[in-house]
């Protein structure tokens, strides 16, 4: 299966969810995903094995909670990373939130639920997926996010619906120049090396009026200075901060690639951070946090201008001993690091 065929296959599959047609989406899913495909999904789903488990355990939970559930993809790109082939998508599920979801009280109105997905192919079938959902966004929209879980930012960020690219060309189903795609990959890789540096070496890679679409628990910001009002205190909450491209021996990116003006990356976990100060309103006990993080980027000329970020915040809170979905999973609260090794 070619690069373009893989992107088209994921697009066609996603389109089967564009209207509430359970039979069509089930048929499309069973046709594209391997029977033994592995699904890594944000807390409290965590891991599901097999396409059937994905349909019943993940899609089934959403369709039960949201009447008329369908999805709208606004970014779809593909690429190769360390010998593996990936397609990444970003967008929103939308439906009428009419029944409980993991103990959350339904709002009895239309709600959006942002998603990000990464699908790894082996031949013509998807064998592994990483799926991010911004469940705190839903909690904030419905008034169920505890006020104590404060963002690290020094100013309030935007927490509502997150749009797709300003250029409205996020569905990159065609072929892009390989050299340009690689230069986009290199641009984000070089920028990542500048994070968590005293001189804020990440700044030159960004357009002055960049858009940073963060997880709702952090907020979204426009412009480099407003983004810095989040990023600098976020980094400052930790005595050590190592991302998925830093070769820290614990976290890594499962993929990172460019596709034309776009790029994507993800890690499960991607970020290792040793706590030094309060974070999300929780006092530090010096523990090490492992964060599941993913990003999509769009460049203009040689600068990054849009960045969509997702972090599995409920999983981060669980590592700090705060279980917001108690009774809906079997993962023990607390740190997953012991003697420098991830559990």
Statement: residue 121 has pLDDT above 50? yes
pLDDT value at 338 more than 60: no
In terms of Cβ atoms closer than 10 Å to its own Cβ (0-12, 13-18, 19+), residue 306 is buried
**Segment 296-307, tens digit of pLDDT:** 999 999 999 999
Find the helix or strand (DSSP H, E) in which 14 lies.
Answer: helix 3-15
Alpha-carbon dihedral 268, 254, 151, 108, rounded to 10 degrees: -70
CA distance 180 to 182: 5
Cis peptide leading into residue 124 (ω within 30°): no
Judged against a pLDDT cut of 50, whether residue 218 lies above it is answered with: yes
In this prediction, what percent of the chain has a pLDDT beyond 90? 94
- So what's the pLDDT on residue 235? 95
pTM for the full model?
A: 0.96
* Cα dist from 6 to 9, 52, 195, 324, whole Å: 5, 21, 32, 37
pLDDT one-digit tens code per residue, 73-106: 999 999 999 999 999 999 999 999 999 999 999 9
How wide is the angle at C-alpha 50 spanned by C-alphas 48 and 52, nearest 5°?
100
Question: Which pLDDT belongs to residue 337?
Answer: 78
The percentage of the chain sitting over the pLDDT mark of 70, rounded to a whole number, equals 98
Reported confidence tier of residue 217, pLDDT bands at 50, 70, 90? very high
The 3-state DSSP class for residue 176 equals coil
Which carries the bigger pLDDT value, residue 339 or residue 139?
139
In this structure, the strands spanning 125-133 and 337-338 are: unpaired
Predicted pLDDT of residue 195: 93
How many Cα atoms are found within 13 Å in the side-chain-facing hemisphere of 205? 22
Average of pLDDT values for 162-191?
A: 98
Is the pLDDT confidence value at 340 over 60? no
Per residue in 19-40, pLDDT tens? 999 999 999 999 999 999 999 9
Nearest to 184 by CA among 81, 297, 283, 74: 297
């Amino acid at each position: 299966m070619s690069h373009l065929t893989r992107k088209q296959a994921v697009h066609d599959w996603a389109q089967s969810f564009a209207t509430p047609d359970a039979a069509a989406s089930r048929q499309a899913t069973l046709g594209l995903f391997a029977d033994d495909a592995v699904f890594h999904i944000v807390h409290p789903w965590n891991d599901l094995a097999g396409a059937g488990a994905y349909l019943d355990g993940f899609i089934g939970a959403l369709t039960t909670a949201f009447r008329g559930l369908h999805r709208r993809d606004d970014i779809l790109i593909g690429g190769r990373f360390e010998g593996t082939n990936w397609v990444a998508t970003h967008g929103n599920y939308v439906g009428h939130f009419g029944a409980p979801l993991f103990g959350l009280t339904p709002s009895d109105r239309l709600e959006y639920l942002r998603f990000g997905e990464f699908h790894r192919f082996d031949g013509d079938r998807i064998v592994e997926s990483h799926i991010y959902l911004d469940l705190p966004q839903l909690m904030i929209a419905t008034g169920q996010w505890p006020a104590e879980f404060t963002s690290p930012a020094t100013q309030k960020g935007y927490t509502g619906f997150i749009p797709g690219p300003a250029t409205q060309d996020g569905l990159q189903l065609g072929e892009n120049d390989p050299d340009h795609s690689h230069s986009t990959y290199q641009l984000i890789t070089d920028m990542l090396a500048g994070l968590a540096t005293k001189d804020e070496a990440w700044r030159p890679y960004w357009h002055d009026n960049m858009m940073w679409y963060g997880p709702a628990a952090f907020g979204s910001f426009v412009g480099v200075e407003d983004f810095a009002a989040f990023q600098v205190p976020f980094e400052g909450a930790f005595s050590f901060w190592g991302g998925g491209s830093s070769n820290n021996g614990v976290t890594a990116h499962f993929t990172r690639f460019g596709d034309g003006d776009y790029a994507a990356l993800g890690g499960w976990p991607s970020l290792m951070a040793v706590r030094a100060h309060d974070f999300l309103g929780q006092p530090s006990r010096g523990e090490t946090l492992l964060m599941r993080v993913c990003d999509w980027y769009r460049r203009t000329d040689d600068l990054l201008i849009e960045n969509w970020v997702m972090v599995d915040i409920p999983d981060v809170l669980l590592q700090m001993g705060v279980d917001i979905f108690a009774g809906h999973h079997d993962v023990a609260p607390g740190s997953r690091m012991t003697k420098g090794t991830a559990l």
